[in-house]
Structure 1
């Protein structure tokens, strides 16, 4: 994602500690830690009792085929974990799947702060990315925010009333580049039942308190652009057989919920709680699709 003025973000700053108004997030965090730390790492069969020695259960061919053994994270500063001294959602997903499956799961997070869709198109052609994607069962992609310049938000034709006319070319380029990225990733995948997940954004620019400090026009225009970006990502993912995962709703509901407690101090990137929400959204989508 981008900072104000169109400059790309570098390494992050300390995450926000504000959790007011989000009691549910605190509950989710506690529940998540219980799952990660207490979940068994082996399957057992029978009516095991305390003190019994139990053997690992046999895994059916169908279960083995559905297990995730390797994850690759691709994209910008969001999956890279910028502005958050915490486990990224890619890491959280790896740990959760390993606990659920009772198997080892590898993760290669190749996300880079400031990356654009064109940058990711170039990256997937590189040797290290090509090799990792080829071995992965699950590729998770968050990309697109850096394709847009926030300095244009105050212009008359950049708002929802003008149909975001000033971003028309950027949105078309986003669609074409994401289509190319997904095509390349799909061609590189060699594992049976390999999956691609594409996430959306809660905002492609600042959000929460930081956005409101810039005024109502900033909030309205950035929200309208974010919704347009998410529609483009969802449509392109669907056309390529990838799974689109919405994170706008989990962060903001219908758009009226204050997501400040899920954001780092920069008002832009997710904090630890935000990464848990993204991870939970992706895990829920995988479960709904019949994956662990």
Structure 2
């Protein structure tokens, strides 16, 4: 049976959901074994730095899924002058991570984008107001651009998730797909991410 190894932050780890997170749902769809190594709170540099301790899992992987970068940007949220620098560092860390994975052995690597790197939906409206919601959208766009560029540079596949939460036009309220914290997906949100992966990634 093939194995899907997932690296990243609290979203793939399933924080605040109390449900089966998207890596396990996706692995089941492609009839693969799920090895979820995502760590809540981790940054792109953390994912890169942890690879040496994960070499045995990566050696048996048929595919690696990575979702990282939100915590990097969250650390500077509200300081827009720093966003571009942080996004560039995320891109470089992810490119280096993919290169290190491919030194173990060549396999498909999937980079998963974010619908929002901060809280979203009605929680965001209440917490940030209109200006903060727009600022979060800008920060999210920069992280997603960094992940897309990293995919282009490294030969990985980039899968955006914005349409799953905000609709094709980007105007839908994602509250129904989020946990009460407004930050992490609920069961329906994880199912939506898994469906995006299944639809856009060549099956192993």
The interval holding the TM-score normalised by the smaller chain is over 0.9
1:150, 1:121 → 2: CA distance? Answer: 18
The answer to whether the Cα contact below 8 Å between 2:12 and 2:67 also exists between their aligned partners in 1 is yes
What is the CA-CA distance between 1:152 and the residue it aligns to?
4.0
Q: 1:256 aligns with which of 171, 177, 181?
A: 171
Q: Is 1:172 aligned to residue 88 of structure 2? A: yes
Which range moves more in the overlay, 266-275 or 175-184?
175-184
Which residue pairs with 1:228 in the alignment?
142
| Deviation per residue, 1:12-52 (Å, 9 max, x gap) | xxxxxxxxxxxxxxxxxxxxxxxxxxxxxxxxxxxxxxxxx
TM-score, structure 1 as length reference = 0.66
Q: Is 1:106 aligned to residue 22 of structure 2? A: no
What is the CA-CA distance between 1:255 and the residue it aligns to?
2.3
2:102, 2:192 → 1: CA distance? Answer: 27
Of Structure 1 and Structure 2, the greater helix share is in: 2
Q: 1:122 aligns with which of 49, 52, 61?
A: 49
The answer to whether the Cα contact below 8 Å between 2:84 and 2:142 also exists between their aligned partners in 1 is no
Q: Is 1:187 aligned to residue 103 of structure 2? A: yes
Q: Is 1:278 aligned to residue 193 of structure 2? A: yes
The answer to whether the Cα contact below 8 Å between 1:73 and 1:108 also exists between their aligned partners in 2 is yes
1:125, 1:151 → 2: CA distance? Answer: 28
Q: Is 1:247 aligned to residue 161 of structure 2? A: yes
Unpaired stretches in structure 2, ≥5 consecutive residues: none
TM-score, structure 2 as length reference = 0.94
Pair member with larger Rg: 1
Helix, strand or coil at the partner of 2:118: coil
Q: 1:142 aligns with which of 67, 72, 91?
A: 67
Give runs of aligned pairs for residues 8-27 of structure 1, distance below 5 A: none
Helix, strand or coil at the partner of 2:71: helix
Unpaired stretches in structure 1, ≥5 consecutive residues: 1-67, 99-104, 159-164
2:145, 2:6 → 1: CA distance? Answer: 21
1:278, 1:203 → 2: CA distance? Answer: 13
2:75, 2:129 → 1: CA distance? Answer: 13
What is the CA-CA distance between 1:150 and the residue it aligns to?
5.8
Which residue pairs with 1:269 in the alignment?
184
How many pairs align?
Answer: 202
The answer to whether the Cα contact below 8 Å between 1:150 and 1:205 also exists between their aligned partners in 2 is no
Give runs of aligned pairs for residues 146-161 of structure 1, distance below 5 A: 146-149=71-74, 152-153=77-78, 158=80
RMSD: 1.5
